[in-house]
Structure 1
């Protein structure tokens, strides 16, 4: 929250939807009041969700396996004695080759495992500062997610807020609908310019259905994982 507070106070959140427009949007404020939400507090939640999904989907990153993780995953592929579907493919700038003999593949993996285990117990396994920095540089990949996933993630965060706070239900008030509020906010924040989000919840329902059970592996470039 300290990160968000600093970014909000320094006007670093790149949302085209401004507070004055938010307060003036009667269709939003009617639902917010109907749900008995604090309009100012909810505005901060909207800005956090927007900033978070922006940092995940447009400026995010993924982790590559470390050298240790990659080698251990490779060794774990050692075939069993009765395996008949074993092959090892290698491709470099000098060409490519494929080994289909399971005994050769198994022996290669055993030699790699022995060498790896020996290297863990030697002084030579220590990295120089330059090697360590190179390893760090190769650990991260910049990643951009689709606009569809950005819409879904923004909506999911707000939906999660309402799941954690069931007191804001508005069940007995006509026209007060949490999903309708979320849908409108997708439009107002310009995460999507599709008018359908503003007028009904059918498009939003389609996104929830399409991405049900999905997990985004991309990490925020601003906020630590939470």
Structure 2
């Protein structure tokens, strides 16, 4: 697979990408989502390069197609090897997935993770997030507390819990009654001066979670699970083998021996992990 052209076949091949995009990019009318107002130059270039974009092509498809055709995807050269990996292909067949569609999904998920973890832009907390954090911190106080405001040489310290609680209640009321334009304004982000490069372990957990979430959308995969199971052993095996195959880890024994349950441990370890406020430097922001 050397090039993607805008025709019905290309749209079909990127079907799985569209599914994952529809899950992780919320409806823009949902203002609980923190709006990313920064538009990457790469997006504009991809749209311009794509030319006559057919109906049904999404933002991520447009950008991915451009990067695929320019061979900017770090794992793109593994396609031939992917087709000959017997264990991986047997699992893909078992789950009744399309081999090429799934390959493009793997490339997309890996590219998205790299563009966020390794080349991503770290953003400051939005004004809305800061207000919510302060309100939450105050509401969790059970005994005494102090609140300090500093501006230059000016400093005010609140130590009376009645005053502090009043601020919390005022914030809660303000947010609950704010109109859409106000929420949008308070949701605008600003960049940190320096970006945070994330380590490999949370990268693996993020990558795996995206693929497992895709599996949840496939009825034929869900039907193969034991009653009450979040994912089957074979699902975990497929993702584990992909972690090693695309070299997110070079420890073959750890990731190809499913009895080790390494992936399960990674997902548990990073279940509540607080990722830095990184956004992709290439794709629209995902809410994961």
Do the aligned partners of 1:90 and 1:98 also contact (CA within 8 Å) in 2? yes
Counterpart of 2:210 in structure 1 is 157
Check if 1:180 corresponds to 2:180: no
Provide, for residues 34-77 of structure 1, a one-character-per-residue CA deviation record: whole Å limited to 9, x for no partner. 111111111000000110111111111222246x6699789989
Max radius of gyration: which structure? 1
Shift of 1:199: 2.1
Gaps of 5+ in 2: 1-60, 164-188, 226-231
Counterpart of 2:258 in structure 1 is 200
Distance (whole Å) between structure 2 residues aligned to residue 22 and residue 65 of structure 1 = 40
Do the aligned partners of 1:31 and 1:177 also contact (CA within 8 Å) in 2? yes
User: 1:33-182 counterparts in 2 under 5 A?
Assistant: 33-65=93-125, 85-88=145-148, 100=157, 102=159, 141-169=194-222, 171=224, 177-182=234-239
Distance (whole Å) between structure 2 residues aligned to residue 181 and residue 204 of structure 1 = 10
Task: Please identify runs of 4+ aligned residues in structure 1 that moved more than 4 A.
Answer: 68-78, 89-92, 97-103, 136-141
TM-score (normalised: structure 2)? 0.54
Gaps of 5+ in 1: 107-135
CA change 1:20–1:70 in 2 (3 A) is closer
Distance (whole Å) between structure 2 residues aligned to residue 214 and residue 150 of structure 1 = 11
2:282 to 218, 222, 225: 222
CA change 1:170–1:218 in 2 (3 A) is same
Counterpart of 2:3 in structure 1 is none
Provide, for residues 146-202 of structure 1, a one-character-per-residue CA deviation record: whole Å limited to 9, x for no partner. 111100011001000001113135739xx9811100000000101111221122161
Distance (whole Å) between structure 2 residues aligned to residue 138 and residue 19 of structure 1 = 36
Provide, for residues 12-52 of structure 1, a one-character-per-residue CA deviation record: whole Å limited to 9, x for no partner. 01127610110011111111111111111110000001101
Do the aligned partners of 2:76 and 2:107 also contact (CA within 8 Å) in 1? no
Do the aligned partners of 1:34 and 1:170 also contact (CA within 8 Å) in 2? no
1:212 to 232, 251, 271: 271
CA RMSD in angstroms comes to 3.8
Question: Number of residue pairs matched?
Answer: 187
SS at match of 1:85: coil
CA change 1:31–1:190 in 2 (3 A) is same
> Mean alpha-carbon deviation: is it higher for 193-202 or for 32-41?
193-202
